[in-house]
Homo-oligomer: A and B are copies of this chain.
Amino acid sequence: MAYELYYWPMIQGRGEFVRLALVEAGADYVDVARRGANGIPKMRKLMEGGRLPMPPFAPPFLKSGNLVVSHVANILLYLGGSHGLAPKAEASRLWLHGLQLTITDFVSEVHDTHHPLGPTLYYEQQRAMAKRRTDEFWKLRVPKYLGYFERMLKRGGPFVMGRKLTYVDLSLFQLIEGLRYAFPKRMKRFEKNVPRLLALRDRVAARPRIKAYLASDKRIAFNEHGIFRRYKALDR
């Protein structure tokens, strides 16, 4: 039976980290909210309708038969085991999940660059603050997070767990793509600091299934409704 992925249909957003894993795994899945006009109502109903014994708080969530898994890192933990995208040994499995949770935190900080006052005001209402937060982000947070992953790659590579690709590598690819989209000038200056991450990005992009996916219209284009947004004022 096909997996059902529930996520907003107009953005890559957090759902994209799950989509990349499903694609690389060659898994059969339906992107429910992108299939027809009743997709979003169906998603809302599952969350609020009282039909599920264990309803999720927010998208993305993945349905596999009666099983429902929510939160990106949790979904990847679940998929990783059954699709060879994670190691079997407990210590490695837990470390990998920790890496993904670090990526979760970073993604949240990326979102804060354009929405430092929270998700309930428009970007235009908080532009001045967004500029300030973005400066801090690039000065201190990007070097800290990406520097950590670069160090992890330095210990072996070419993937974070060594020779075998995991779901974390797919997520790191997405981070690089997103930063290049949202902050082309800042990222261009920064890239010299993370050569191994860039090589990893290229390696992921060249995987046959990922390559075909990126070239297809299944890959939603980056836009200014997702996590990574290109605003001129924030890219100096």
Q: Taking beta carbons and an 8 Å cutoff, which residues of A are in contact with B?
A: 54, 56-58, 61, 66-71, 73-74, 77-78, 90-92, 94-95, 97-99, 101-102, 104-105, 108-109, 112, 116-118, 120-121, 129, 132-133, 136-137, 139-141, 145, 148
Contact = CB atoms under 8 A, between A and B. Distances in A.
B56 A69 contact: no
19 contacts: A57-B99, A57-B148, A66-B91, A67-B91, A67-B94, A68-B91, A70-B102, A71-B101, A77-B97, A105-B108, A108-B108, A109-B118, A112-B118, A116-B117, A116-B118, A117-B136, A120-B136, A121-B136, A129-B129
A109 B119 CA distance: 10
A206 to B, nearest CB: 27
Contacts of A57: 98-99, 102, 145, 148
A191 B54 CA distance: 24
A91 B74 CA distance: 12
Contact of A98 (B74, B108, B112, B117): B74
